[in-house]
Each structure stands twice: as structure tokens, then as C-alpha cells.
A and B are shown apart, each in its own frame.
Chain A
Amino acid sequence: AQTVTQSQPEMSVQEAETVTLSCTYDTSESDYYLFWYKQPPSRQMILVIRQEAYKQQNATENRFSVNFQKAAKSFSLKISDSQLGDAAMYFCAYRSALGTNAGKSTFGDGTTLTVKP
């Protein structure tokens, strides 16, 4: 079974600074997707960024980028120029792409990000 570990239950960053959230995962599969989701106090799940395992290039979405290290099974999220609106719980998620497990999803326990003005 796949596992996703977020080792930082809480992180804080000063407004306009950069912060990196860590995520590691364990799998024996070769094809999968990785995601970062943001959950603000409203509890809505919002997609931040996604990465296909077969792509070596790290995904980027505006101020958000990932460092995907497939061999190390690491998928960290970097938030640049942090804004007050970035304060939320962030979840790392894994989704199987092929075979009998296609469609199975596993989430980490989340990292609560606080942004200080």
C-alpha cells in the first residue's frame, strides 16, 4: 500500500518570504500522480499543483513550485513571496495511475501553514 508522510505538522513564514513544505511517499508503482491541495478554514479543498511521475520537469504554478525527486520519493512544495491568503492546511496526495490500483488515492496528514504579517 502507498503511504504519504508530511513530517511538518506546522510551519510558519513571514509575509513575502519563501517557505518549503515537505512530503515523502512510499510506493512500488512506476506511474502515478502527485498533488498538493490547500484547505483554508472554509474546508474547501483547492488544487495547488500537480505532477506526473513520468515527467522529470518540476511543475510550477505562479508562486508555487515543486521539487520532485522520484528516486528519493520526495515531493516538496515551495511557496515564494508568501501572502496572508496562503495561510491554510496543505495536503500532499498520491494517486495511482495504472493497474489494479488505478484510482486509489492517499493523502498525508497535512501541514498547517501560518503567514505572519
Chain B
Amino acid sequence: EAQVTQNPRYLITVTGKKLTVTCSQNMNHEYMSWYRQDPGLGLRQIYYSMNVEVTDKGDVPEGYKVSRKEKRNFPLILESPSPNQTSLYFCASSLSLGGPLADTQYFGPGTRLTVL
């Protein structure tokens, strides 16, 4: 089954304790992206990657790191989490080449992170 998976789905942590949220897709998509969603707001892009070893900042990259060493994986790293990073996080992927489904993003189920 074609899908984007995220782990963990729920996480409660404390300020300053490094954490990684994993994202994996099995569709051979070139493009992957991370978003956060806060109450009353839409999704805001954190980082995105057009392909392996290529990453770019989105609108809200502060406090986050990413890496793209393999095509299928795109982990989100919070080296020193703070309470303002409490949010719902989504990973997404898409084909970036042409075709009828190019650039349509497929989303993971979300990771609810609470930083105390």
C-alpha cells in the first residue's frame, strides 16, 4: 500500500531533550516536506527536500533540522525542543516530475508533539 508513515504518532517530552520524528514513504517520491499545524492556523512549511541531499527552508525553520540521506526517509530533528514547538506535525511527499499527479502531496497521519 502506498503510504507516508510517521513515528511516533504521539510524543510528550521536556524542554531541551533532543528528539527525532521519522518520516518514510514507499512511493519513490523525490519531494518530501515537513509542516506544523497549530490551532486556528493552516499548515506552515518547516523544511522541504526536492531530492536526496537537497533541502531548503520553508516559512518556519527556526529550531528544526532535517536531513535527506535516502530517498525514502526525511527525519525532522528538534535538537533542543521548547514549549512553542508543541504542535501537530505532518510529513508529506510527492512526485516532482511531470504527469497528472505531479506535485500532489500525500500526507502522513501526523505526529502530535507536546513539549513541557
State the A residues within 8 Å of B (CB).
1, 4, 6, 33, 35, 43-45, 47, 50, 91, 93, 95, 97, 102-110
Candidates A6, A103, A106, A109; contact of B31 at CB < 8 Å: A103
Which secondary structure dominates chain B's binding surface?
strand
Contact A103 B105 (CB under 8 A): no
Interface residues on B, range: 20 to 34
When the two chains form the complex, which single residue of A6, A50, A106 contacts B104, counting CB atoms closer than 8 Å? Answer: A50
Q: Using Cβ atoms and an 8 Å threshold, which residues of chain B touch A108?
A: 42
In this complex, which of A43, A91, A93 has the most chain B Cβ atoms within 10 angstroms of its Cβ?
A43
Say yes or no: B110 contacts A104, CB within 8 Å.
no
A contact residues around B48 at 8 Å (CB): 103-105
Interchain nearest-CB distance for B110 vs A (Å): 5
Asked if B41 contacts A43 (CB within 8 A), the reply is no
Residue of B nearest to A105 (CB): B45
Interface of B toward A, CB cutoff 8 Å = 31, 33, 35, 40-45, 48-50, 56, 58-59, 88, 90, 92, 96, 103-107, 109-110
Report the minimal beta-carbon distance from A7 to chain B, rounded to whole angstroms. Answer: 13
B42 contacts A91, C-beta separation under 8 Å: yes
Does B88 contact A103, Cβ atoms closer than 8 Å? Answer: no
**Do the beta carbons of A107 and B43 come within 8 Å of each other?**
yes
Determine if A107 and B58 form an interchain contact, defined as CB atoms under 8 angstroms apart.
Answer: no
| Chain A residues with CB below 8 A from B106, complex form | 47
Task: Tell me whether A44 and B110 are in contact (CB under 8 A).
Answer: yes
Q: Which of A45, A102, A106, A110 contacts B59 (CB 8 A)?
A: A106
Task: Tell me, rounded to whole Å, the shortest Cβ–Cβ distance linking B76 to chain A.
Answer: 16
Q: Are A105 and B110 in contact (CB under 8 A)?
A: no
Interface residue from A44, A95, A107 paired with B42 (Cβ < 8 Å) = A107
> What's the Cα separation between A105 and B42 when bound, in Å?
11
Q: Which residue of A lies closest to B102 (CB)?
A: A33
